[in-house]
Amino acid sequence: DTGVSQDPRHKITKRGQNVTFRCDPISEHNRLYWYRQTLGQGPEFLTYFQNEAQLEKSRLLSDRFSAERPKGSFSTLEIQRTEQGDSAMYLCASSPGRDQYFGPGTRLLVL
Amino acid sequence: QQQVKQSPQSLIVQKGGISIINCAYENTAFDYFPWYQQFPGKGPALLIAIRPDVSEKKEGRFTISFNKSAKQFSLHIMDSQPGDSATYFCAASTYSGGSNYKLTFGKGTLLTVNP
């Protein structure tokens, strides 16, 4: 399977804990996006990488959130001191141009 | 401010019927309009996309109609099947610098196709 993969698929954590998600994009795609989707809503943009450079961060991305894409390959999204409002589906997408291809997402539940 | 408005919120269609979902946008800088299909627990899957220089694009049973002057676009699913039952999202993007084409999504339409 050469699609976008994300790990873990599900994460349950307690408020205040740190969590980290991983995204492996389609190998030849140099553009990588993170989105967040809450129940009954469309995905909302969080951040964008071109190769290893993080070029845009949404205002939704508070200072508790950090994302990296070392060497322009896989990407990680870390949430520190999780809050119940962080509960959502975190989606990664990669793109060779305009079309964006999404992974299966990581469902986060903060108790 | 919601930049992409999608309707209806939910839609029930009989097998073989035509499903129509509408979207309207506000930002005239948007120049790429994709539609995504999402099944429960899965990520959105790209269905079809259109640019504003064409008024219609068809791929199989899926057709996008685009009205630039009205700032509206719609998805038509012909011969709808129970397997089409999913949530559909319209989206729009424009160039944001650094080869960034972040998507702005509508709120989604839950389509149910009855057998």
Digit-coded pLDDT (tens) for A26-43: 998 999 999 999 998 999
Given CB atoms, is B46 within the 8 Å cutoff of chain A?
yes
Task: Give mean pLDDT, residues A52-76.
Answer: 92
Tell me the nearest-neighbour CA distance from A67 into chain B, angstroms: 16
- CA proximity to A92, closest of A19, A10, A37, A53: A37
**CB of B32 less than 8 A from some CB of A:** yes
Helix, strand, or coil (residue B10): strand
Sole residue written with tokens 């993007």: B93
What's the pLDDT at B95?
81
Taking the C-alpha atoms of residue A88 and residue A110, their distance in angstroms, rounded to an integer, is: 9
pLDDT in tens, B42-69: 999 999 999 989 999 999 999 999 999 9
Q: What is the pLDDT of residue B2?
A: 64
A1 has a pLDDT exceeding 60: no
Q: How many A-B residue pairs are in contact by the CB < 8 A criterion? A: 72
Other CB atoms within 10 Å distance of the CB of residue A35: 26
Q: Which of A35, A99, A103 sits opposite B46 (nearest CB)?
A: A99
Are A89 and A37 a contacting pair, CB within 8 Å?
yes
Mean pLDDT value of segment A55-82: 93
B45 touches chain A (CB under 8 A): yes
Q: Is A72 on the interface with B (CB under 8 A)?
A: no
Residues from chain A that touch B42, judged by Cβ atoms under 8 A, are: 104-105
